[in-house]
Amino acid sequence: MSQSILDKIWSAHEILSRDGSSLVFVDRHLLHEGSHHAFAKIGEAGRKVRHPELTFGVADHYAPSSELRANAASATMIERLSVNTARHGIESFGLGDARRGIVHVAMPEQGLSLPGTIIVCGDSHTATHGAFGAFAFGIGASEVAHVLATQALWQKKPPLMKITVTGGLPFGTTAKDLALHIIATIGTGGATGHAVEYAGEAIAALSMEGRMTLCNMTIEMGARSGIVPPDETTFAWLKGRPMAPKGAAFEAAVESWKALRSDDGAAYAREVVIDAGEVAPMVTWGTSPEQVAPVTGEVPSVDPDALDYMGLSAGEALSTINIDRGFIGSCTNGRYSDLLAAARVLKGRRLAVPLLVSPGSSDVARQAEETGIAEIFREAGAEWGESGCSLCVGMNGDQVRPGERCASTSNRNFRGRQGPGARTHLMSPAMVAAAAVSGHIVDVRAIDLADLPEPVSAPDVHLEA
């Protein structure tokens, strides 16, 4: 019988099934500061962590992007993670570790996200790791405790939805714009309960970083997970990563990964076809990622509540909206190629409003220093911060003030996400840079871009602690 990539991953991981649910084995369990509830739960019962060698922690949500905004409460959260992981023999990247970064940036960099694996983390954007052909999804604290103790999880196999993206992305558009375009097309509930398999030439053409951005945003369609079947791009990216298999083991793994494609005739619960050629630079105007339009559009006359919160009126052109600040970072758009795209806009220009940059990981920061990109940001007047979740979520000292309007590369424009009363406009890194030099939302396609060298490829990274 024809099998989908999800069927193949599922059957390789199913330990037993009962009551219509399966107990599936977990290959990678990723932790951050939010895991303290789960540690408390297993602690109360005196349970041990079953596979500490398959479990990795990193401080990201509460990591301060600047000494100036560090606070005691966040430091306590970071300390709790190191105490809990140390007690259970789990390797964790704390402040000062060269491997530290946002969990969905740092773990793939280490070569921990592998094709065909099941990856979980107490964070909804775990979907990011599906870019490697893994089945990766976010779980809650009770499930984190369950995985710590058993290395397994009760799950129902989700129905599979296929999103085929034909053609190529036009000039000035990125994986972020594609993700927002898909959300605009199918809605934030468009893939609820499904796993999404991506297919089509536009997906094949995406870099690993672009695939991570797209799978990351898949959660905003309501999906549990996004999956891109692995190909040569995937294998090349993984080769030589510190914790990826090496030598003959790598070659053997690649052989088995090549079988991770959906068979002809595999069944899908839903299929959607998207024409990449129709994607334009996208900007959100409301308080949900589905409230989004091309930058050439205007604020529509729907959801008065959202418009009131955002301080906008129907009919306003998106490109005339003034912004108070910009943010470049997050697990959606905090990778080297994201910073590079923004730097192409910033080179030789000065900011009109404050811009905070928080590289997705210490290694991204290191690369950016080495290639001179970091200097371009500083010369333009941007604040070059430490890596972490930073202004994606108002919980680590970074916040947008009430009523302030922020052009942001993050993934959620929810009410209060960046701080109480904060108004968030989601867009791509180059669009944020363009808005930050203009003082208002602007179409990046109208801006001359500097010629800067392409990203450094995988084997050039050096990531030991």
Widest pairwise Cα distance in the chain = 62
Residue linked to tokens 């900007």: 283
Rounded to a whole number of angstroms, the CA Rg of the chain reads 21
Binding mask 209-248 for other proteins (x = CB under 8 A): -------------x-x------------------x-xx--
52 binds other proteins (CB under 8 A): no
Distance CA 138, CA 419 (A): 23
Within 10 Å of residue 149's Cβ, how many Cβ atoms?
16
157 binds other proteins (CB under 8 A): no
73 binds other proteins (CB under 8 A): yes
Shortest reach from residue 16's CB to other proteins, in Å? 5
Pick from 105, 283, 373, 395 the residue near other proteins by CB under 8 A. 395
For the segment 29-48, give every residue that binds other proteins (CB under 8 A): 34, 36-37, 40, 45, 47
Residue linked to tokens 């962590």: 49
Q: Say if CB 192 and CB 222 are below 8 A apart.
A: yes
Give the residue with the Cβ less far from ligand SF4, 4 or 333: 333
Distance CA 230, CA 208 (A): 10
Shortest reach from residue 172's CB to other proteins, in Å? 29
185 binds other proteins (CB under 8 A): no
- One-letter amino acid at 349 equals R
Number of residues lying near other proteins (CB under 8 A): 72
Give the residue with the Cβ less far from other proteins, 248 or 451: 248
Q: Say if CB 208 and CB 234 are below 8 A apart.
A: yes
What does 457 bind: ligand SF4, other proteins, none (CB cut-off 5 to 8 Å by kind)? none
164 binds other proteins (CB under 8 A): no
Give the residue with the Cβ less far from other proteins, 61 or 211: 61
| Token pair recorded at residue 299 | 């604020």
What does 73 bind: other proteins, ligand SF4, none (CB cut-off 5 to 8 Å by kind)? other proteins
From the list 73-81, 270-278, 316-324, 346-354, the region that binds other proteins by CB under 8 A is: 73-81
Q: Say if CB 153 and CB 188 are below 8 A apart.
A: no
Shortest reach from residue 250's CB to ligand SF4, in Å? 28
For the segment 107-146, give every residue that binds other proteins (CB under 8 A): 111-112, 114, 117, 122-124, 137-143, 145-146
Residue linked to tokens 């793994």: 253
CA of 46: how far to CAs of 26, 240, 280, in Å? 22, 39, 54
* Residue 236 CA to its chain's centroid (Å): 21
273 binds other proteins (CB under 8 A): no
Is 91 exposed, middle or buried (CB count within 10 Å of its CB: 0-12, 13-18, 19+)? Answer: middle
CA of 258: how far to CAs of 49, 115, 127, in Å? 32, 9, 21
Instruction: Kindly list the residues in this chain that would bind ligand SF4 in the complex (CB under 6 A).
Output: 60-61, 102, 104, 123, 125, 330-331, 389, 392-393, 410-411
Shortest reach from residue 105's CB to ligand SF4, in Å? 8
